[in-house]
Amino acid sequence: MKVPFNDLRLQHAPIKDELNEAIAKVVDDCQFIGKERNPYVLAFEEAFADYVGANHCIGCANGTDAIELALRALEIGSGAEVIVPAQTWISTAEAVTMAGATPVFADICALTNTLSPEEIERKITPRTRAIIPVHLHGLPANMPAICEIAQRHSLKVIEDSAQAHGACIQNQHIGTFGDCATFSFFPGKNLGAFGDAGCVVTNDPQIADRIAGLRDHGRAQASDHSFEGRNSRLDGIHAAVLSVKLKYLENWVQLRQKAAERYLTKLPLGRFDLQSIPSGYTHAYHLFALQTNRRDELRSFLDSREIASGIHYVRSLPQLTAYQKLGVSPDDFPNAQTHSQQTISVPLFPEISAEQIDYVSATITEFFNSSAK
């Protein structure tokens, strides 16, 4: 049996007509560009803000720009330090650099794999201005502890929620804990557009207003530019597609959670580690990742059985060539390094079948039994 890592065709097939109609409407209206009054962009922004439970949503070109726009709106740039987890997708740190500030890595917690509050405290200096926790793989970071630290040190919090649409802490949606939160609608995320797209959500009207200007050349009104911004708008077609898909998001997240539950009943638990989920936290299962010191062997074994897998991420940020300039040693981030060496993501997507989950689980069981260590 062949098991893909994800198959978006299965997600689109049952709603193909609805998606095509939504796109055709934008084409008929020629509402392609996400200017201030694009009705498709406005409709999606309102619906997504509602979904998250935030007052404002500002669409933009992608989830990386969203972080940079959030930092710029908070006036965090040159001379500022921003604390980011040492194990995440490069965007989290890259956006800090692009905003003119310096990313400062803090190690992740060995159990949850998200930013460690204790490590944040060790990295705070007089130049620290913000913390960007990442809800890695869909598991909320420890927001109560992180927000408490931020408050004590007068720091801003931007939640990088690119992997966690649908995740909650005590039924409160992630994206509503920090000063603002960023989402990516890259096609493979829990909610994906038909290309690159992203947004920032916030309860602060001033931050919202500032981002709305920054994403569209600083335009406050048609005849003048009150400041310089950039072009990072959300396209009409993407917004229309996202509005259709948003109606199904909650169901898709539940299907992800059901798939994870089935894995938990079928896998040989105890032979590897999983992200541990704090009580009251709801994992949105963007990824289902196992941790084992036999990761590479397991990956080849799955390959040989036509089961796709992924590694998120092969190198921690301090190990990347791009960050050698910071002069930090990867050894100072042992949990991030171990995570990069031992973690493997196995197929989990809303449409994955019970048979596929059982086959993946049986194959993993066979692997651990066949060459018991």
Ligand X SMILES: *Cc1c(COP(=O)(O)O)cnc(C)c1O
For the bound state, the minimum distance from the C-beta of residue 95 to ligand X, rounded and expressed in Å, comes to 8
| Contacting residue, 44, 51, 89, 105, with ligand X by CB under 6 A | 89
Q: Select from 44, 105, 186, 194 the one that contacts ligand X (CB under 6 A).
A: 186
Contact between residue 165 and residue 256 where contact means Cβ atoms under 8 Å apart: no
| Cα separation, 92 vs 95, whole angstroms | 6
Q: Answer yes or no whether residue 108 interacts with ligand X by CB under 6 A.
A: no
CA distance 33 to 27: 11
Q: Which residues of 107-134 are buried (b: 16+ CB within 10 A; e: fewer)?
A: bbbeebbbbbbebbeeebeeebbbbbbb
**Taking CB under 6 A as the rule, does residue 134 contact ligand X?**
yes
Region binding ligand X by CB under 6 A among candidate stretches 60-68, 266-274, 291-299, 315-323:
60-68
**How many chain residues touch ligand X (CB under 6 A)?**
15
Residue 64 interacting with ligand X (CB under 6 A): yes
Interface stretch with ligand X, choices 59-67, 100-108, 205-213, 360-368 (CB under 6 A): 59-67
Q: How far is the CB of 335 from ligand X (least distance, A)?
A: 17
SS (H, E, C) 291-323: ECCCHHHHHHHHHHCCECCECCCCCCHHHCHHH
Q: Which one among 128, 142, 184, 343 touches ligand X, defined by CB under 6 A?
A: 184
Cβ atoms of 128 and 152 within 8 Å: the answer is: no
Instruction: For residue 68, give the nearest of 169, 200, 195 by alpha carbon.
Output: 200
Residue with the CB atom nearest ligand X in the bound state = 63
How is residue 271 annotated by DSSP? S
Only segment of 58-66, 122-130, 226-234, 320-328 that touches ligand X (CB under 6 A): 58-66
- How far apart are alpha carbons 9 and 13 in whole angstroms? 6
Please say which residue, 59 or 350, places its beta carbon nearer to ligand X.
Answer: 59
Please report whether residue 114 would count as binding ligand X according to CB under 6 A.
no
| Binding track, positions 138-177, relative to ligand X; x by CB under 6 A | ----------------------x-xx--------------
Residue from 6, 88, 292, 343 touching ligand X (CB under 6 A): that is 88
Stretch that binds ligand X, among 56-64, 204-212, 260-268, 328-336 (CB under 6 A): 56-64
User: In 30-137, where does DSSP find H-type helix?
Assistant: 39-52, 63-73, 91-98, 117-123
Binding residue (CB under 6 A) for ligand X from 26, 31, 40, 63 = 63
Minimum distance, C-beta of residue 162 to ligand X, in the bound complex (Å): 3
Given the complex with ligand X, which of 162 and 289 has the nearer CB atom? 162
Q: State the binding string over 197-236 for ligand X (x if CB under 6 A, else -).
A: -x--------------------------------------
Q: Are 201 and 160 in contact (CB under 8 A)?
A: no
In the complex, the smallest distance separating the C-beta of residue 182 from ligand X, rounded to whole angstroms, is 7
324's CB contacts (< 8 A; 6+ apart) are none
Give Cβ neighbours of residue 29 (< 8 Å, ≥ 6 apart).
39, 236
Within residues 20-49, the interface with ligand X by CB under 6 A covers none
Q: CB 46 → ligand X: shortest distance, Å? A: 21
Our finding on whether 62 is near ligand X (CB under 6 A) is yes
Report the nearest approach of ligand X to the CB of residue 346 (Å): 18
Whether the Cβ atoms of residue 25 and residue 240 lie closer than 8 Å to each other: yes
Nearer to ligand X, 92 or 292 (CB): 92
Residues 6+ apart with CB under 8 A from 177: 143, 144, 146, 147, 157, 159, 169
Instruction: Identify whether the C-beta of residue 182 lies closer than 8 Å to the C-beta of residue 160.
Output: yes
**Least distance in angstroms from the C-beta of 61 to ligand X:** 8
Strand, coil or helix: 97? helix
Interface residues toward ligand X, by CB under 6 A: 62-64, 88-89, 91-92, 134, 160, 162-163, 184, 186, 196, 198
